[in-house]
Amino acid sequence: MRVMIDTNILISAILFPNSLPAKALEKASLNHSVILSSYGIEEIHIVFERKFKDKCLFLEKFLSKFSFELVYTPLNIEEEKFPQIRDIKDLPILVTAILGDVDLIITGDKDFFALDIEKPEIVSAKDFIEKF
């Protein structure tokens, strides 16, 4: 299964290695194809630069050793061609998942849970651990 990891899950997994997001990330990487978006990688760098500057080197080491498929996020998105999402800042992640033929997104973002779509399936870290 192709499993996309949303930025909030990835940040939590990196910063808190014993957390549910970390356990979900580990399970995904052992049993599935982990997908990250180019938008998400940019976003995580911005967050670490702003909030966790002292951990930027750790982030780089983590990303260089972690095995994942990178799916490009288009810069120009025609919003009307994709499902509406409450927070427009989440649209690039959703679009990347759809274009990258992702089966499932692991996220903690409530805006994704409000979507009414079949694919990709949207799950929390806890639900991923329990169901998959």
Total structural domains in the chain? Answer: 1
CATH code, domain carrying 80: 3.40.50.1010
**106: domain range?**
2-131
What whole-number distance in Å separates Cα of residue 74 and Cα of residue 66?
23
Convert the pLDDT of each residue in 47-90 to its tens digit: 999 999 999 999 999 999 999 999 999 999 999 999 999 999 99
Percent pLDDT > 90 in the chain is 99
Predicted pLDDT of residue 90: 94
Task: Tell me if 108 sits within 8 A of 6, measured CB to CB.
Answer: yes
Mean pLDDT of the chain: 96
